[in-house]
């Protein structure tokens, strides 16, 4: 395997002492540097308000990396030589000491101005930090400068536009990496290869052959101590506007003229612009009540610490999307997400159309199942194609079987999403990152739902959501296809 083309750089993590930095970013970055033989090209600078110094941050980094399963001796060597810390102190608005430290590290390690600024921060902090990076001149150097912004990117269309405008005041769009870790999953990336490198599927990928599409992002966990964020956000902002919208665009997009970042992202934006206004009757909101998951009793959403006792925040969303273009006109896209569902999974189900007639009536009851393609993104990444065969008996009896491909069986453990995305950032590849117009097009679609008074239905934790969601999809003769039904 050839060594990736990564320039020597400084990787600056704002919020360096936080959970995202310690449990996700540092392990992913270290694993990437070890596997790709890149440890000599990266210096890491953690930035936060705590006054812990280099050694204090190195100790936190060591603990995080050892907990992640890395060798203590190698971790010690890397932390001592490549990990640094800068406190913003009691006057975090003053970035002069940070600018001086960055210049010093670049000189000491012969880094020619190449910088990554990763905002591992709560979203309300984004505008302030972006503005101070720009005002202090850290966005300008003799090398390349890239800024990484975690989702959620805004809370509605207006705030997303404001954040884009602020970023563009100091950074060119080519420098901005809006990160959605779902797009770093190998199976998500392989959707493009699966569709456009295999004509057997692409030739079937239209309204003539596909009856409906279902996409599910299910979580068995609750809000896990995130009430201060989640009670203001809800499932529509937290999952639907970003993760689910991204998956829909990848499934529905047209072939790009050239397989490169801007062409791919332009096709995704076209899908969002082809979606008409979502009618309220095509939307179901839910909120979990107490129930049982994995034989363990769990509390209701309103009983979660920090949640308002009268909260009407949705923890479940099911909705129907339509795409008004030549390929997809009339094909419903059913998407759903929820917390405290029976299991953790992300899957896409492509339901193909039934045969127009059944020719087996003299021999069987003609219970022909639609062919289905199941794409599993987590936890067991792979593809299953379901089709009918004859059982080996004298009478003609049909049975549904599947062909399958499993990533772990074929390639072993897959790299984490953050590892994949960090490598793309270092190489300057924006294919898996969200462009400004894509963010705004997505918010333009979903913001009207935030302004509607959509009722919230309750569902028992450990079930697949409120009964209203089942009734909603049944209007067109459909049912939700859960993982245990498929496998």
361 pLDDT more than 70: no
| Nearest Cα residue to 105 out of 31, 148, 47 | 47
pLDDT score at 364: 55
How far, in Å, CA of 239 to CA of 182, rounded? 10
The helix or strand, by DSSP H or E, that contains position 352, with its residue range, turns out to be strand 345-352
| CATH superfamily for domain 9-150 | NAD(P)-binding Rossmann-like Domain (3.40.50.720)
Residue 485 is predicted with a pLDDT of 44
- Confirm if 205 and 195 have CB atoms less than 8 A apart: yes
DSSP 50: S
Q: Is the pLDDT at 194 greater than 70, yes or no?
A: yes
- Give the mean pLDDT of 334-358: 90
Structure confidence at residue 359 as a pLDDT band (50, 70, 90):
low
For domain 183-416+432-486, give the CATH superfamily.
Dihydrodipicolinate Reductase; domain 2 (3.30.360.10)
C-alpha distance across the termini of the chain, in Å: 35
Would you say 217 and 246 are in contact if contact means Cβ atoms under 8 Å apart?
no
pLDDT at 379: 85
Tokens of 300: 């209701």
Specify the range with the lowest mean pLDDT, choosing from 32-46, 144-158, 236-250, 469-483: 469-483
Active site residues: 243
Question: Hey, what's the torsion of the CAs at 20, 24, 26, 30, to 10 degrees?
Answer: -170
Enumerate residues 6+ apart whose C-beta is below 8 A from 240.
317, 319, 335, 337, 446
How many CB atoms lie under 10 A from the CB of residue 300? 18
In this predicted structure, what is the pLDDT of residue 483? 59
Q: Identify the bridge partners of residue 116 per DSSP, sorted by sequence position.
A: 11, 146
As given in the structure block, the two tokens for residue 442 are 């997505």
Domain with CATH 3.30.360.10 in the chain: 183-416+432-486
pLDDT score at 203 = 84
Q: In what order do the strands lie in the sheet with 145-150?
A: 83-87, 42-48, 9-14, 115-119, 145-150, 176-179
Q: Looking at the chain, which residues constitute the CATH 3.40.50.720 domain(s)?
A: 9-150
For the cut 80, the answer to whether the pLDDT of residue 375 exceeds it is: yes
Does residue 365 or residue 35 have the better pLDDT? Answer: 35
Residue with the two structure tokens 């009339």: 330
pLDDT at 486: 43
Within 8 A by CB and 6+ apart from 201, the residues are: 194, 195, 373
pLDDT at 1 (0 to 100): 44
Cα–Cα nearest to 218, from 95, 88, 341: 341
pLDDT digits (tens, 9 = 90+) for 294-314: 899 999 999 999 998 899 999
Q: What percent of the chain has pLDDT over 90?
A: 68
Q: Of 328, 348, 333, whose CA–CA distance to 486 is shortest?
A: 348
pLDDT tens profile 207-229: 999 999 999 999 999 988 888 88
68-85 pLDDT tens trace: 999 898 899 999 999 999
User: Which residue is it, tokens 């007639």?
Assistant: 357
Do residues 330 and 324 make contact, with C-beta atoms less than 8 angstroms apart? no
Q: Average the pLDDT over 349-355 and give the result.
A: 88
Mean pLDDT of 339-357: 89
CA dist 300 → 305, 311, 313, 317 (Å): 10, 11, 12, 17
Task: Tell me what pLDDT residue 487 has.
Answer: 39
Residues 427-457: pLDDT tens digits? 999 988 999 999 999 999 999 999 999 999 9
pLDDT at 337 over 70: yes
Q: What is the pLDDT of residue 368?
A: 61
State the chain's mean pLDDT as an integer.
90
pLDDT (tens digit, 9 = 90+) per residue, 402-434? Answer: 888 888 888 888 788 899 899 999 999 998 899
State the pLDDT confidence band at 120, using cuts at 50, 70 and 90: very high
């Amino acid at each position: 395997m050839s060594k990736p083309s990564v320039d020597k750089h400084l990787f600056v993590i704002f919020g360096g002492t936080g959970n995202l930095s310690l449990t996700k970013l540092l392990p992913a970055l270290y694993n990437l540097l070890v596997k790709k033989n890149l440890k000599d090209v990266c210096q890491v600078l953690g930035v936060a308000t705590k006054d812990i110094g280099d050694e204090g941050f190195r100790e936190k980094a060591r603990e995080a990396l050892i907990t992640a399963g890395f060798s203590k001796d190698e971790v010690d060597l890397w932390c001592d030589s490549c990990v640094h810390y800068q406190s913003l102190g009691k006057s975090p608005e003053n970035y002069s000491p940070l600018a001086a430290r960055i210049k010093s590290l670049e000189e000491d390690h012969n880094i020619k101005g190449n910088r990554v600024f990763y905002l591992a921060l709560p979203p309300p902090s984004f505008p302030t930090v972006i503005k101070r990076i720009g005002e202090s001149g850290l966005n300008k150097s003799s090398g390349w400068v890239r800024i990484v912004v975690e989702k959620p990117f805004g809370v509605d269309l207006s705030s997303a536009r404001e954040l884009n405008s602020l970023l563009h005041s100091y950074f060119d769009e080519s420098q901005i990496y809006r990160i959605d870790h779902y797009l770093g999953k190998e199976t998500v990336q392989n959707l493009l290869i699966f569709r456009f490198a295999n004509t057997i599927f692409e030739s079937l990928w239209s309204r003539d052959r596909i009856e409906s599409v279902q996409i599910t992002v299910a979580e068995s966990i609750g809000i896990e101590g995130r009430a201060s964020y989640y009670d203001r956000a809800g499932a529509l902002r937290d999952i639907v506007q970003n993760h689910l919208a991204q998956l829909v665009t990848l499934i529905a997009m047209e072939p790009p003229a050239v397989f490169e970042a801007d062409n791919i992202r332009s096709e995704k934006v076209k899908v969002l612009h082809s979606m008409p206004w979502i009618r309220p009757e095509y939307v179901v909101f839910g909120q979990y009540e107490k129930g049982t998951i994995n034989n363990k009793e769990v509390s209701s959403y309103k009983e979660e610490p920090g949640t308002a006792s009268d909260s009407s925040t949705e923890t479940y969303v099911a909705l129907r999307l339509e795409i008004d273009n030549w390929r997809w006109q009339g094909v419903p896209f059913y998407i759903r997400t929820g917390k405290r569902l029976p299991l953790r999974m992300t899957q896409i189900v492509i339901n193909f159309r039934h045969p127009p007639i059944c020719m087996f009536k003299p021999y069987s009851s003609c219970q022909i199942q639609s062919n289905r393609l199941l794409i599993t993104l987590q936890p067991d990444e792979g593809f299953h194609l379901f089709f009918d065969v004859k059982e080996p008996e004298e009478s003609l009896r049909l049975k549904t079987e599947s062909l399958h491909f499993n990533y772990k069986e074929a390639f072993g453990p897959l790299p984490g999403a953050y590892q994949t995305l960090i490598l793309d950032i270092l190489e300057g590849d924006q294919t898996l990152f969200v462009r400004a117009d894509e963010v705004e097009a997505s918010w333009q679609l979903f913001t009207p739902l935030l302004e509607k008074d959509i009722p919230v239905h309750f569902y028992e934790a450990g079930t697949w959501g409120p009964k209203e969601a089942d009734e909603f999809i049944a209007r067109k003769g459909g049912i939700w296809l859960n993982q245990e039904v498929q496998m």
